[in-house]
Every structure is written in structure tokens, then in C-alpha cells.
Chain A
Amino acid sequence: NAGVTQTPKFQVLKTGQSMTLQCAQDMNHEYMSWYRQDPGMGLRLIHYSVGAGITDQGEVPNGYNVSRSTTEDFPLRLLSAAPSQTSVYFCASSRGGWGTPMNTEAFFGQGTRLTVV
């Protein structure tokens, strides 16, 4: 059971380039989300999805797009990379929806360290 798999683990981009961070989970979780981690700021929510075909913005969505065509996959697209997007990105998944206990554990991928130069 792989859990949450993120690729790539490291990436260097030039300003203006676009790329997609991949996230896949094999636990049949409804809820998936993307966070970015910056020093002194913890993890901040970028976008999230409560199921295939449903996505919504989090706290810091600007410059990022997401889609959820299947339950398993939740890619994050950087449209035109900027140095301010240099960060560590985490994908997470958990059971979700009404009736799911709030103590449900969120499972995280191992992160992608992205540097934009």
C-alpha cells in the first residue's frame, strides 16, 4: 500500500516556466489537498478537493490550478512560475464528507522541494 505518492521530489524551474506536480493516493480517499510549507509560516492550504470533479480554493491559491478527474489523482499546476513560489509542496489525503469523523488522520506525501530561479 503506497499511500500518497508525490512526484517529483525536487525541481528547479526558471521564472515563467510551467509545470505540474503529481499526487496520487491508493486509499480511495475522497478528500485531497495541496499545501505549501515556508519557513516560519507552517503549512498553508493552496487548493483542495472533496471528490472527483470538485475542487475549491484554499488560503493561497493564486498562481496555481488543480483538477480532479479521478479519485486517485490530484495534480497541481504552476501556470507561470515565480520566485515567490519557491517552497516545499505537500499533497495530503483523507476520508471526507459528511459523517466522516473529524479525528480522521490526514496522510501526507513526502513533499516536493521546488526552487524557482
Chain B
Amino acid sequence: AQTVTQSQPEMSVQEAETVTLSCTYDTSESDYYLFWYKQPPSRQMILVIRQEAYKQQNATENRFSVNFQKAAKSFSLKISDSQLGDAAMYFCAYRREETSGSRLTFGEGTQLTVNP
């Protein structure tokens, strides 16, 4: 079974600085997708960024970028120029193709605090 691990239950960063959230995963598949979701206090799950396993180029979305290391099965999220609105729970998630659908497997989450 696939597992996703986020080893940092909590992280904090000063406003305008950079923070990196860690995620590792375990799979025997060669083709899959990885995602980072943000969950602010409103509980809404918001897709932040996604990465295709067969693409070596790291995905980037504005201030959010990933460091994808396929051999190491690592998928970290870097937030640059942190803003107060970035404060949230962040979840790493994994998806592979299946005959019966494409389920997401989530990590435990990292609670990010942004200090003014």
C-alpha cells in the first residue's frame, strides 16, 4: 500500500521569509501524481500545486514551488515571501491510476504558522 509521511506536525515562518514543508512517500509505481493541498481555518481544501512523476522539472505556482526527488521519494513544498494568508494546514497527497478510480492518499499534515 502507498503511504505518505509528513514528519513536521508544525512549522512557523516569519512574514516575507521562505519555508519548506517536507513530504516523503512510498510506492512501487513508476507513474503517479503528487499534490499539495492547503486547508485554512475555514476547513476548505484548496489545491496548491501538483507534480507529475514522469516530469523531472519541478512544478511552480507563483510563490509556491516543489522539490521533487523521485529516487528519494521526496516531495517538499517551498513557500517564498510568506504571507499571513499562507497560515494553514498543508497536506501532501499521492494519486496513482487504478482500475476502479483514482483515490488520493494523504499525509498527516503540517500546521504552518506565519508570524508578522
The A/B interface has a contact count, at CB < 8 Å, of: 65
0/1 interface trace, chain A 78-117, chain B, CB 8 Å (1 if under): 0000000000101010101110101111101011010000
The residue of chain B having its C-beta at the shortest distance from the C-beta of A100 within the complex is B102
Q: Which residues of B contact A48 (CB under 8 A)?
A: 101, 103
> B77 at interface (Cβ–Cβ under 8 A)?
no
> A40 at interface (Cβ–Cβ under 8 A)?
yes
Q: Which residues of B contact A76 (CB under 8 A)?
A: none
Which residue of B4, B99, B104, B109 is within 8 Å of A106 (Cβ)?
A: B104
> B52 at interface (Cβ–Cβ under 8 A)?
yes
The interface size bin for chain B is: 20 to 34
- Cross-chain contact A43 with B106 (CB below 8 angstroms): yes
- Cross-chain contact B44 with A33 (CB below 8 angstroms): no
- Cross-chain contact B33 with A103 (CB below 8 angstroms): yes
> A23 at interface (Cβ–Cβ under 8 A)?
no
The interface size bin for chain A is: 20 to 34
Q: Which residues of A contact B91 (CB under 8 A)?
A: 42-43
> B45 at interface (Cβ–Cβ under 8 A)?
yes
Q: Which residues in A have some Cβ–Cβ distance to B below 8 Å?
A: 31, 33, 35, 40-45, 48, 50, 56, 58, 88, 90, 92, 94, 96-98, 100, 102-106, 108, 110-111, 113
Ranked nearest first, the 7 interchain pairs of A and B with the lowest CB-CB distance are A108-B45, A42-B106, A43-B106, A111-B43, A102-B33, A50-B101, A42-B108
Query: Apart from A40-B109, A42-B107, A58-B103, what 20 extra A-B contacts exist at CB < 8 Å?
Result: A31-B101, A33-B101, A41-B108, A43-B91, A44-B106, A45-B104, A45-B105, A48-B103, A50-B100, A50-B101, A56-B100, A56-B101, A92-B45, A94-B102, A96-B102, A100-B102, A102-B32, A108-B45, A110-B44, A111-B43
User: Would you give 20 A-B contacts (Cβ < 8 Å), ordered by A?
Assistant: A33-B101, A41-B108, A42-B4, A42-B6, A42-B91, A42-B106, A50-B100, A50-B101, A56-B100, A56-B101, A90-B45, A92-B104, A96-B101, A96-B102, A102-B32, A102-B33, A102-B96, A105-B50, A108-B44, A110-B44
